[in-house]
Amino acid sequence: MAKTTGQNAEAAVEIPVDALTETQARAELDRLSEALARANQAYHAEDAPEISDAEYDALKRRNASIEARFPALKRADSPSDQVGAAPSEGFSKVTHTLRMLSLSNAFDDHDVRDFDRGIRKYLGLSETDPLVYTAEPKIDGLSLSLRYEGGALVQAATRGDGSIGENVTANARTIADIPHRIAGAPGVLEVRGEVYMSHADFEALNARQAEAGQKTFANPRNAAAGSLRQLDATITAARPLKFFAYGWGEVSAPVFDTQNGALAQLGAWGFAINPLTVRCTDPDAMLAHYARIEDQRATLGYDIDGVVYKVDDLNLQRRLGFRSTTPRWAIAHKFPAELAWTRLESIDIQVGRTGALSPVARLQPVTVGGVVVSNATLHNEDYIAGRGADGRPIRDGKDIRVGDWVQVYRAGDVIPKVADVDLSKRPADTMPYVFPTTCPECGSAAIREEGDAVRRCTGGLICPAQAVEKLKHFVSRAAFDIEGIGAKQVEMFYHDDQLAVREPADIFTLEARDRQNLTRLSNRDGWGETSAKNLFQAIDEKREIPFERLLFGLGIRHVGEVAAKDLARHYGSWEALAQALDTARPAALAERAAERAAEAERAAAAKEDRRARIAEARAAALADCAVPPAAQAAWSDLVAADGIGPVLALSLSDAMANPEERGAFDRLLAHLTPIPPETRASDSPVAGKTVVFTGTLEKMTRAEAKARAEALGAKVSGSVSARTDLLVAGPGAGSKAAKAADLGIETIDEDAWLALIDGA
């Protein structure tokens, strides 16, 4: 049913619905039907709306009101039941102006109390200072961001990866809980909430689907997701979707000052707000509310998967800010995961890009939390044996064997894991699982470094599994992101003896080889002239590549997205990086020698004589290499860089010094033009500066000061050095202030600092 509440100014000049005669009503419904059909045609098919959204909505509302008063007159082809022509292809992308974040999780009372304690610590509040939270059920659906401009709904976007979602505006318009217009809203207002389906609606829908011979849905969440992501909005319109608002994104004017007040305002604007939302003044109250909600869970009529706690005061929320992917001011207290028992049929070993051997459980299919699970991760060797990484027993030390009855759950309601074993049902003939010590893919030795949880194949690029996984990483979204090459194509290209894409450089020679009739991509299944041409073009587009993506794409261990960015910024170019690493190599080897020596000492202490002697000899051999000062300087510069420690530095050095790997890098670089990272000139006066805080800060805590400074592009360090640009000294500053004075470094107090960053 369409909404009939809300402002109806556009229809004011027409006869009020209450005053219509039946004849007038019939004529009007005909007229509205025609007008709406025309508007739909113009909007969807020709992409050139004839009337504004507001006018369109007014027509629809009037149509719905008339139908509500004269149900018998409702046309068979009523516009209420349809939404117009389907867009020609998939959804367009929407970049969220403010990222849609996920929440960190709490699994027990202890985590919730830690959450409260952490917030108090960050804000510098004592345990007794008042602090208000809101607690509300966490709806198990899918998040949606609704953008209103001038009070009119102009865009609805799914969460996607948090930054980029899909434009599902036409579909969202069909959801009755979502107002098309809101009165008195700021110029720009993004409302965020959860789309879900009630149990009753879900069952009715599945019954209808089954009757019509259509596929049924595994659970309400899948049904809601599938319904919202229909390309044809008329299908979405026929699905009973609902919506709870719980938050917001961009808002052009400051209209809220507490979370609770914001919800009340959203409610006043016509959004459905979950009735089980309360304010709590301490963790005990939060936990009590959690218990209440858990009790009611089965009778709510819709799925929830926990309770969300948020700091109520939005000023405090602002001060708390965000970690990399989650806000500090909110947490999701999850209900215990659903469990299921099934038989473990076999254990397979997968080999990852770094050579890591990962055991995967093949299970007799079983339904867990509404999804059929047939595979589950077994983490690593120790986990199967019943030991944690620290060597302490887990599952009471019970090991996992093929043939066992095992308990499965979906961690975070997503990743299936084996949690427990039923020893009473263990068949008599089972044997403890023997973890392979050679790589199942290439036969090379698979060894486990001391203190490491994983066993790794030592085959390097000889190992086809590692080579393929490395290539998959190379073409992945965060690296080269080559359109037309995904995991499947990589497999095919690698194993095809003519295409022979065995390392990244081979991707960039594909077209040339194709031209010379060496490969003939278009002869392959699923590849025609056009798709081949498109692929070559997509590859060409990536010959110019941001330096940090290149670095990430190389797949060097410990060099992930963030470290790659740090390195790119530190060195600026591949040449500079390569040269620095070549220079630093002797120092890197000395570093390793020192580590080995320390290891030898420890081993000797443990009376493992033979191994100790070997390690010692190795260390001595390496220590003999003299370390030129230039090498030491280059090495120090590397490990002093932000976020780069000795482990990463050594891994990088090894990769660059390894002839096979370096050869592959050099061959690849011959085809590329890396783009230097932006030397971004941020507006902030502290951008790019290195700042040190010392003494007592009175208006903010240390953590807060650091987070804010970093958000403005400053680098915060703990100690004063020649590289420090600015010292912020509170009362009680001691040696750091003296040192800064010595070095002639600018020193200001907290107020001056706040004035400096004010407005940024």
Partner DNA sequence: GTGCCTCGAGTTCC
Partner DNA sequence: CTCGAGGCAC
Question: What is the contact surface with DNA in residues (CB under 7 A)?
Answer: 102, 105, 118, 218, 222, 323-324, 350, 352-356, 358, 360, 371-377, 379-380, 383, 388-389, 411-416, 451-454, 469, 557-564, 642-649, 702-703, 716-718
Minimum CB–partner distance for residue 39 and DNA (Å): 34
Minimum CB–partner distance for residue 75 and DNA (Å): 36
Of residues 57 and 599, the one with the C-beta less far from DNA: 599
Of residues 185 and 384, the one with the C-beta less far from DNA: 384
Going by their DSSP bridges, the two strands 746-748 and 726-729 should be labelled as parallel
The reply to whether 138 belongs to the active site is: yes
CA-nearest of 729, 723, 717 to 753 is 729
Of residues 100 and 286, the one with the C-beta less far from DNA: 100
Q: Are 83 and 236 in contact (CB under 8 A)?
A: yes
Q: What is the dihedral of CA 245, 248, 249, 253, to 10 degrees?
A: 140
Of residues 668 and 705, the one with the C-beta less far from DNA: 705
Place of tokens 């929320």: 317
Minimum CB–partner distance for residue 330 and DNA (Å): 13
Which secondary structure element, helix H or strand E, spans residue 203, and what is its range? helix 199-211
One-letter amino acid at 413 equals D
Q: Are 370 and 218 in contact (CB under 8 A)?
A: yes
Of residues 265 and 358, the one with the C-beta less far from DNA: 358
Of residues 153 and 378, the one with the C-beta less far from DNA: 378
Q: What is the CA radius of gyration of the chain?
A: 31
Minimum CB–partner distance for residue 90 and DNA (Å): 15
Of residues 453 and 757, the one with the C-beta less far from DNA: 453
Give me the DSSP letters along 259-313: HHHHHHHHHHTT----TT-EEESSHHHHHHHHHHHHHHGGGSSS-EEEEEEEESB
Determine the Cα angle at 614 with ends 610 and 617, to 5°. Answer: 135
Strand partners, 445: 438
Minimum CB–partner distance for residue 707 and DNA (Å): 7
Selected catalytic residue, list 138, 310, 542, 706: 138
Minimum CB–partner distance for residue 242 and DNA (Å): 21
Minimum CB–partner distance for residue 717 and DNA (Å): 6
Burial (Cβ within 10 Å: 0-12, 13-18, ≥19) of residue 205: buried
Q: In angstroms, rounded to a whole number, what is the distance separating the alpha carbons of residues 27 and 29?
A: 5
Q: In angstroms, rounded to a whole number, what is the distance separating the alpha carbons of residues 289 and 309?
A: 10
Of residues 267 and 713, the one with the C-beta less far from DNA: 713
3-state secondary structure 481-537: CCCCCCHHHHHHHHHCCCCCCCCHHHHHHHHHHHHCCCCCHHHCCCCCHHHHHHHHH
Give me the DSSP letters along 109-150: HHHHHHHHHHHHHHHT--TTS---EEEEEEESSEEEEEEEET
Minimum CB–partner distance for residue 562 and DNA (Å): 4
Going by their DSSP bridges, the two strands 133-139 and 304-311 should be labelled as antiparallel
Of residues 2 and 600, the one with the C-beta less far from DNA: 600
Q: In angstroms, rounded to a whole number, what is the distance separating the alpha carbons of residues 366 and 372?
A: 5
Question: 119 is written with which tokens?
Answer: 């917030």
Helix/strand number for the chain, H first, E second:
25, 24
Question: 447 is written with which tokens?
Answer: 């060894």
Question: 666 is written with which tokens?
Answer: 């050099």
Burial (Cβ within 10 Å: 0-12, 13-18, ≥19) of residue 21: exposed
Minimum CB–partner distance for residue 215 and DNA (Å): 9
Q: Are 410 and 371 in contact (CB under 8 A)?
A: yes
Of residues 26 and 558, the one with the C-beta less far from DNA: 558
Q: In angstroms, rounded to a whole number, what is the distance separating the alpha carbons of residues 265 and 284?
A: 27
Place of tokens 């011979």: 213
Helix axes 283-296, 109-123, angle to 10 degrees: 140
Minimum CB–partner distance for residue 3 and DNA (Å): 31
Of residues 374 and 458, the one with the C-beta less far from DNA: 374
565: DSSP letter: H
Q: Are 204 and 267 in contact (CB under 8 A)?
A: no
Which secondary structure element, helix H or strand E, spans residue 237, and what is its range? helix 233-237
Place of tokens 């700091």: 311
Q: Are 691 and 725 in contact (CB under 8 A)?
A: yes
Catalytic machinery residues? 138
